[in-house]
Amino acid sequence: MRLSRSLSITSLSGLPLWEEESLDMQDLLLFEVSWEVTNKVGGIYTVIQTKAKITVDEWGENYIMMGPYYEHNFKTQVEKCEPPNQAIKAAMDSLINNGCQVHFGRWLIEGSPYVILFDIGAAAWNLDRWKGDLWNACSIGLPYHDREANDSLVFGSLVAWFFKELTDQLQDKPNVIAHFHEWQAGTGLVLSRSRKIPLATVFTTHATLLGRYLCAGNADFYNNLDKFNIDQEAGERQIYHRYCLERAAVHCAHVFTTVSQITAVEANHMLHRQPDVVTPNGLNIRKFSAMHEFQNLHSMNKAKIQEFVRGHFYGHLDFNLEKTLFFFIAGRYEFSNKGADLFLESLSRLNYLLRVQKSDVTVVVFFIMPAKTNNFNVESLKGQAVRKQLWDTAQSVKEKFGKRLYESLLRGEIPDMSKILDRDDFTIMKRAIYATQIVFHPEFLSSTSPLLPMDYEEFVRGCHLGVFPSYYEPWGYTPGECTVMGIPSVTTNLSGFGCFMEEHVSDPSEYGIYIVDRRFRSADESCNQLTQFMFSFCQQSRRQRIIQRNRTERLSDLLDWRYLGRFYMHARHLALSRSFPGKFKMDHLNLAPVSLSHSLRCTLMHSHFPRSLTMRT
């Protein structure tokens, strides 16, 4: 493999060598606080869920997650049990005795971590008092109409209250580490620090709040990072109070981390603090591991997609499915942020190149971007029903044909082919052929769908190429999921995943990771580059694609939490050394601050590149 560094833990640049240091986990408790513990909202849910196994392996029963309580989620995802630690039980009882509802159990995911869930609604009667506490602590006021911000305050106040009760019970041993994710959980961090609760705190932003809003509004974000009036921009979008909560959490934390170098640049400008550690997002590779079977899984799931395509193009299937490639894009319906605009324009140019070259390759593209829908298109259902009816008809006629042929041969006769099928058989086939339908592709993927009965993982395995030319993507799990399943993908150097691969793999395209330059090129040049990537992929032979899938799958270990989880370990060690310097030392470690020099080149460019393309009609 032509890699600049070997695929081992030491290949990850900037990772300190702390193997010499061993912490006694019996003297520590680790809490991870997030709004998405047992509560799927976005990508953070994937981060904490997939990371749980390696964290439990490291910390055992001393690792507890904290999140909001929702009755349905608790009943379906959590096994209720008693806390193993008496101090935790006493802290929970204190809250319960004061009118709050707190639930404890094991989250039914791999690793089965303990979870403490706080009922937001049951404690909402404290909202006005807690708003006053927040104002007195940091002069941040929350408007009554922002339900999400008010819920985050109730959640954060309960978390801070719990930590106060817990540390009072524990005194000085064991010490407590609290890791908070995103601004919704950050309120608990701010209140804990303002009350001088003895905690080692880590705060991780997975994307800055204002960054998302600016990019969603088609701002020329990366060219103007150092020019935005942050307070004014947040105020105009009526999120100033949320921005203040996020920034307060960033500056109150002992250790501030973010998920990628590109987001570190963003955070440095938006939140005015340089991250101490970059903590890349990993995956639980064992979940996707298929060993030598992943090529067979590709063939099996490709066949399912081909069946869908037969129904979708029924009546005008004028191309060879064996020479058809399946591309897809997936993610939130953020047309510009996710690069759907660039992708559509590139497909137009790809179509032109394929026609000029008289290529016999057909490309079928799927947009998997969930949006509001009422129900399935009736014509879509009819189209798939017709395909199934054609299959059933062919099978029925085949059985009759085979039986009559067999009987003729038993009699020692050469069958008269004109009499093998009777008039009724021809009538059945004609009735099936002339039912022309138009098929619409649904946006959600589920194995129970009557249109395309496949889960997302099966669908990805059946495709040939994932295309994710995002403009704003702090990490990007979709190309990572493609990689661990052995499916080549397109990403950009404005995504955390793309920057990570550029840093650690000498020639990513050789391993099926195509990185579009959206940082230093104009939108038109980026579009041409994406077109060329896709056109080159279309020119590969079947054997070349198989070899490339093998090479892509080899990169899986680079994305495994067993390796990337070490960055989180580093952040916790650093937090302990800063909060309890008399007990925890890191002097002997090769600590290096996050380097922004390479990433900051994007803000020093003199050339301007447009935010998006003007689409051709």
pLDDT confidence of residue 437: 29
Q: What is the pLDDT of residues 427-454, one digit of tens each?
A: 554 444 332 222 334 455 666 665 677 8
DSSP element (H, E) containing 177: strand 175-181
Flag whether pLDDT at 559 surpasses 60. yes
Q: What is the pLDDT of residue 412?
A: 67
Return the structure tokens found at 199: 């905690």
pLDDT at 9 over 80: no
For the cut 50, the answer to whether the pLDDT of residue 15 exceeds it is: no
Bridge partners, 67 (sequence order) = 117
Residue whose structure tokens are 């938006």: 270
pTM of the model: 0.81
Of 340, 603, 512, residue with least CA distance to 501: 512
Bigger pLDDT: 406 or 25? 25
pLDDT of residue 11: 44
At residue 319, does pLDDT exceed 80?
no
The predicted structure's pLDDT at residue 395: 60
Amino acid in position 148: E
More confident residue, 35 or 388: 35
* Separation of alpha carbons 292 and 258, rounded Å: 35
Residue 301 has pLDDT above 50, yes or no: yes
Position 119 scores a pLDDT of 97
Answer whether residue 195 shows pLDDT above 50.
Answer: yes
- What is the per-residue pLDDT across 396-407, written as a single tens digit (0 to 9) for each? 656 666 666 666
116 pLDDT above the threshold of 90 = yes
Give pLDDT tens digits for 489-517.
999 999 999 999 998 998 999 999 999 99
List, in order, residues 6 or more apart from 517 with CB less than 8 Å away: 492, 493, 525, 526, 529
Q: Specify the pLDDT at position 577.
A: 92
Three-class SS of 67-129: EECCHHHHHHHEEECCCCCHHHHHHHHHHHHCCCCEEEEEECCCCCCEEEEECCHHHHHHHHH
pLDDT of residue 309: 80
Least confident of 304-308, 344-348, 591-595: 591-595
What is the three-state SS of 219-276? Answer: CCCCCCCCCCCHHHHHHHCCCHHHHHHHHHHHHHCCEEEECCHHHHHHHHHHCCCCCC
Question: In whole angstroms, how far apart are CA 455 and each of 33, 301, 458, 461?
Answer: 30, 10, 5, 10
| 71 vs 287, higher pLDDT | 71
pLDDT at 138: 93
Average pLDDT over residues 238-263: 96
Query: Which residue type does 526 have?
Result: S
Angstrom distance (rounded) from CA 587 to CA 136: 37
Cβ proximity of 377 and 371 under 8 Å: no
3-state class of 326 per DSSP? strand
- Residues 382-393 have a mean pLDDT of 53
**pLDDT of 399:** 64
Interval 532-560 mean pLDDT: 93
Mean pLDDT rounded to a whole number for the chain: 82
Across the beta sheet with 324-330, what order do the strands follow?
362-368, 324-330, 465-467, 489-492, 513-516
Cα(246)–Cα(185) distance, rounded to whole angstroms?
9
pLDDT in tens, 568-609: 999 999 999 999 998 887 754 444 445 443 433 333 333 333
**pLDDT tens-digit readout, 366-386:** 888 765 554 554 444 454 455
Among 146, 143, 264, 280, which Cα is nearest to 208's? 264
Beta bridge partners of 364: 326
Q: What is the pLDDT of residues 139-165, one digit of tens each?
A: 999 999 999 999 999 999 999 999 999
Residue 431: the pLDDT is 43
- Give the burial class of 157: count Cβ atoms within 10 A of its Cβ; 0-12 exposed, 13-18 middle, 19 or more buried: buried
**Confidence band of 311 (pLDDT split at 50, 70, 90):** confident
Q: Is the pLDDT of residue 262 over 70?
A: yes
**Res 492: pLDDT:** 96
Q: Which of 117, 251, 272, 104 is nearest to 190 (CA)?
A: 251
Q: How confident is the model at residue 293 (pLDDT cuts 50, 70, 90)?
A: confident
Is the pLDDT confidence value at 67 over 90?
A: yes
Does 23 or 53 have the greater pLDDT score? 53
Please report the pLDDT score of residue 27 as a whole number. 83
pLDDT score for 601:
35
Q: What is the pLDDT of residue 8?
A: 41
Dihedrals phi, psi of 454, to nearest 5 degrees: -140, 140
Distance of CA 226 to the CA centre of its chain: 28
Q: Which residue has the higher pLDDT, 129 or 292?
A: 129
